[in-house]
Amino acid sequence: MQPQEKPFKVDIRSEIGELEGVIIHTPGPEVENMTPDSSHKALYSDILNLQVALKEFNQFSGFLSKVTKTFQVKDLLSTVVQNPEHRAELLQAIATKERLDEYTISELMNIKHEKLSTMLIEGVEMRKDNLTRFLSKDRYSIEPLHNFFFTRDASVAILDKVLISRMASRIRDRETIIMDSIFRNHPTFGVKTIHPEQSSHFCKELSFEGGDFLVAREDILLIGTGLRTTPHGIDFIIDYYKKKKVQRHIIIQELPYTPESFIHLDMVFTFLDRNQCMVYEPLILQPTRYLTIHINIDNGVVKSIREVANIPTILKELGMEMETLYCGGRRDSMIQEREQWHSGANFFAIAPGKVIGYGRNVNTMEEMNKHGYAVIKASDVIHNKVDITNYNKYVVTIDGSELSRGGGGCRCMTMPVRRKAVEW
């Protein structure tokens, strides 16, 4: 008999509070199960070398495992589908979205839970056992989830609630179905999830993804709007807080649709400490045609909605004065552009002033070092060559030559579920 899972309360009230639990997914064969022709459909601009990506991800997960509790998606999912009722509900939701036939569903119902968890992520090859399937150009009856190691996107934890994303691409719908089932049905969590389908704004144009959401403070939420998160998606969030009748400040940042490195807000802005943030300066601080908007919600009413100069300016007005560190450093705009492309602004905090990012962005690391951050290799921490408890501020670096080609950084590869409160 397996030991009873201990409840783990979801609680995210900032981007920087000491991390107590995070969900990650180690990339597997689903990352390589694509061709150059199918990579565009999978939302990749190139195909990754799994062997190299795994070495880099193991540095990432190895470091996280030393400093916090880590949950693997595949393990969580395996536990959920052990329960026949939860398994049936999950498979039916997937079947409805992906138009699976009854024969496929009945087969999946009888597969061992560990194997089913793997299949739902890595994909199932199509059996060419009738004329329709024989003539089909599709290789898979259940497509691999190529993007799932970016666990940030499919759900959003804010305070003690979890919003289930509506992804911009339908190819990622199964990620949201799986995360919804994990949060509702896994004995560790048991959280009531919130869905955009509940909104009067729900329509085909409504989408939002976790990389566009940053919890600045309990009452301040930053949201990017662009290719992945639409105004309809943000209106759903506004309506949610109006119904709660609480005060919330929502700061909206418009993002360019191209290049693809601007896919989410956390690719151009992340928090590092109580009073420091990393910015892609040409977009965040320089005047552009991309608006920054402040929405003030109080007691069920939108009190004001107005354009502001930029994110740091409105944060200061709300009592969060930020020193801005520059992605790519301050010497050359071309260097800034190159390092932003490789997720140079995308940092994940494990505590105030203690973050993790890609070491390949050397000019960004130099900028951080100038602002008091010790630059430490993840491999040195993992092998006990460096004791991070000796440092008040640091940035732990992982090799990101291959992972960065997937279009995301360390924040993208995490779904934090609990942080300690921050003393502001």
Convert the pLDDT of each residue in 292-332 to its tens digit: 999 999 999 999 999 999 999 999 999 999 999 999 999 99
Average pLDDT, the chain: 93
pLDDT for the residue numbered 1: 40
Share of the chain above pLDDT 70, in %: 96
Chain length of the chain? 424
419 three-state secondary structure: strand
pTM for the whole thing?
0.95
pLDDT surpassing 90 at residue 185: yes
pLDDT for the residue numbered 198: 73
pLDDT for the residue numbered 123: 92
CATH, range 19-419: 3.75.10.10
Convert the pLDDT of each residue in 261-301 to its tens digit: 999 999 999 999 999 999 999 999 999 999 999 999 999 99
Higher pLDDT, 37 or 371: 371
Higher pLDDT, 59 or 130: 59
pLDDT for the residue numbered 73: 98
Domain residue extents for the chain: 19-419
* Band (157; pLDDT cuts 50, 70, 90): very high
Supply the DSSP string of 167-220, one letter for each residue: -SSGGGHHHHHHHHHHHHHSTTT-PPEE-GGGSTT-STT--B-GGGEEEEETTE
Convert the pLDDT of each residue in 108-126 to its tens digit: 999 999 999 999 999 988 8
* Band (42; pLDDT cuts 50, 70, 90): low
pLDDT surpassing 50 at residue 197: yes
pLDDT surpassing 70 at residue 186: yes
pLDDT for the residue numbered 263: 95
Handedness of CA 50, 366, 262, 221 (dihedral sign): positive
pLDDT for the residue numbered 40: 60
Supply the DSSP string of 314-348, one letter for each residue: HHHHTT---EEEETT-SS-HHHHHHHHHTTTT--E
